[in-house]
Amino acid sequence: MPSSSSGLVFGLTAAALAAVGFLGYQAQATVPAALAKPEAGSSPAAVVSKAPRGKVSPGVPPAGSGVGERVVYSTGADRVWLVGARNEVTRSYPVTPGSVDPAPGVYRVTSRSNSIVGTDGVPIEHVVRFADVDGVAVGFSAAVGKTSEETDPGVRTGGIREGREDGTAMWEFATIGAQVAVIP
């Protein structure tokens, strides 16, 4: 009897695994293209419309940057806006970009580090990463004790440098999964 019951258990387990695998395949095959996970190296699926060039207003979220709670980063204006759920700017400040810019689009915060050494050798804090460009991590950070003007301009960096107070505000605002809209 023990050999037949173990065979029955094995058979039922194999059938259950096959059924789960089949259902998983069906679910994956019917996911709408808009919700499918983008392939590595592809551009973000949601693209932000271009913001008008010219003078930016620190107190107003840039046109075309989306709605709701988000971080807005303008690569052309070298400025960040922290925008609350009611579309109000809670903080805006200038930044110093690294040598690598992310493409315009909508991203999500993927990782954070409280204190590390940047790719340029500068100690940094409150690192909030949201993109990867050709193997270079892109994110916001605040230099500790050394300004960006003193770093090697030949090093490929994705660090978007903020002042320390601004870095603390970003750290508190942009947790894992937070939206980051990059505009030109």
pTM of the model: 0.69
Number of domains in the chain: 1
Has residue 172 been placed in a domain? yes
pLDDT at residue 36 above 80?
no
The residue ranking higher by pLDDT, 5 or 121, is: 121
Per-residue confidence (pLDDT) for residue 18, from 0 to 100: 58
CATH of the domain at 111: 2.40.440.10
Is 139 among the domain residues? yes
Distance CA 133, CA 113 (A): 19
Where does the pLDDT of residue 83 fall: very low under 50, low under 70, confident under 90, or very high at 90 and above?
Answer: very high
User: Could you identify the residue written with the tokens 């039922």?
Assistant: 12
With a pLDDT cut of 90, the percent of the chain lying above it is 57
Q: How many CB atoms lie within 10 A of CB 94?
A: 13
Q: Residue 138: which H helix or E strand, with range?
A: strand 136-143
* Residue 169 is assigned to a structural domain of this protein: yes
Quick: pLDDT tens for 12-30: 766 665 555 555 545 554 4
**Among residues 104, 100, 124, 120, which one has the least CA distance to residue 112?**
124
